[in-house]
Amino acid sequence: MEKIIVYVIPVFFVLIGMELAYGYFSRKNTYRLNDAISSLNQGLISQLVTLVTQFFQIGLYALVYRFVSIFPHATFWGTTAGWILAVLLFDFCDYWLHRMGHVNALMWAAHAVHHQSQDFNFSTALRQESTVVFIGWIFYLPMALLGVPPEQFAIAGLIVLVYQFWIHTEHVGKLGWFDKVFSSPSNHRVHHAVNDHYLDKNYGGMLIIWDRMFGTFMEEKEPCVYGTRTPLQSWDPVWAVVSGYWQLAQSASRLPRWQDKLLIWFKAPGWSPASLPYEGSTFDLDAARRQFDSDLSRSAIALTVLQFSFLLTATAALLWVADDLPYLHLLTTCAALLAGFWALGAFMQGRLSVSVVFAIDLVAGVVAAYTLR
């Protein structure tokens, strides 16, 4: 499966280049280098996390399929109809996982990574969360119970995930009947928006009919403002992943009752006990339009692109040989590359010098070369 990702990566970058070129020549550019690199960093980091969390990615599913499945050897799943149903089932389960990721504080802390970009383009599609997997596997167990083989489950998931790439764009308008059945750019722009009327709408990955069935659909009407209501304001990829959990822990520490300290993790994002006064601030849509940014010199831009290219190449190489590596080597290489991604984000934010970045890259390169030899 990892080798399939390696084959798909160049396709993603060609499409990103095409969208970037179209935006430039049409004077409707939706890209900023630092934001796009930050999103792409998260996508590559999510692949590293996938390599070392296979027990949650597919292992638990395979165990349920093997020991609890109702129809473990049904030939139906190998038919064309079986494949179509497997994809539909995955999309249905994914709808509920996605919905829970917005209404449960703990799961929002994991999913928020995908929403942190204040731009909306193909690079945003690759800004994948890394920690949802530790809880998300539960939502797909109905497929295991029905006897969908693990390999088919994984491919169905890849199909649904790859489909969602193209719907992250501002350059495709409304598509008539298509918008009524499928997740589309118009529908998904609503999902990523922080406008009051758009919050927690349009969860569908491939089909929007789930939202229409369960009351979470909203049509795109007013211009969308993207990001999260508590903006990240950082290019640090590690902070992007852990910030939601840190904010929850900080909020829990201020609550007087132990019951509330526990409940806050499982209530809706922003929840507080009724007995306490509301401490949040009123959301300002105009303020949300102001994008976090940092100026990079031409030399800094060149170094940023160079370092990202190095990390991309190293990650692709690791994905290619991952199946043949001992777990400890895999874990060590992933940690080394994660340090490189952190250094890149810190450099874009002006927190690390060029020499420190090169030193971290050198160590990461030596570790990767040693484990991949």
Selection from 127, 175, 136 nearest residue 56 by Cα: 136
265 contacts 250 by C-beta, under 8 angstroms: no
pLDDT number for residue 277: 65
Q: Which tops the pLDDT comparison, 273 or 201?
A: 201
User: Cα–Cα–Cα angle for 277, 282, 285, nearest 5°?
Assistant: 165
What whole-number distance in Å separates Cα of residue 326 and Cα of residue 333? Answer: 11
H or E stretch covering 133? helix 133-136
What whole-number distance in Å separates Cα of residue 299 and Cα of residue 309? Answer: 15
311 contacts 44 by C-beta, under 8 angstroms: yes
What whole-number distance in Å separates Cα of residue 166 and Cα of residue 220? Answer: 17
pLDDT number for residue 272: 85
pLDDT number for residue 1: 66
Selection from 101, 103, 91 nearest residue 134 by Cα: 101
Region 98-110 average pLDDT: 97
Q: Residue 199 — φ and ψ, nearest 5°?
A: -60, 135
As a whole-number percent, the residues of the chain with pLDDT over 90 amount to 84
> Is the pLDDT at 361 greater than 90, yes or no?
no
pLDDT in tens, 129-169: 999 999 999 999 999 999 999 999 999 999 999 999 999 99
Q: Whole-structure pTM over 0.85, yes or no?
A: yes
Cα 102 to chain centroid distance, Å, stands at 13
pLDDT number for residue 269: 93
* Residue 108, token pair as written in the block: 């929002």
What whole-number distance in Å separates Cα of residue 4 and Cα of residue 353? Answer: 36
Average pLDDT in the chain? 93
> Is the pLDDT at 121 greater than 80, yes or no?
yes
Cα–Cα distances (Å) from 269 to 83, 111, 141, 229, in that order, read 36, 12, 26, 11
> Is the pLDDT at 316 greater than 60, yes or no?
yes
72 contacts 147 by C-beta, under 8 angstroms: yes
What whole-number distance in Å separates Cα of residue 68 and Cα of residue 215? Answer: 33
User: Cα–Cα–Cα angle for 76, 89, 198, nearest 5°?
Assistant: 165
> Is the pLDDT at 315 greater than 80, yes or no?
yes
Region 296-311 average pLDDT: 93
pLDDT in tens, 226-280: 999 999 999 999 999 999 999 999 999 999 899 999 999 999 998 888 877 665 5
Percent helix, percent strand, percent coil in the chain, to nearest 5: 65, 0, 35
What whole-number distance in Å separates Cα of residue 297 and Cα of residue 358? Answer: 17
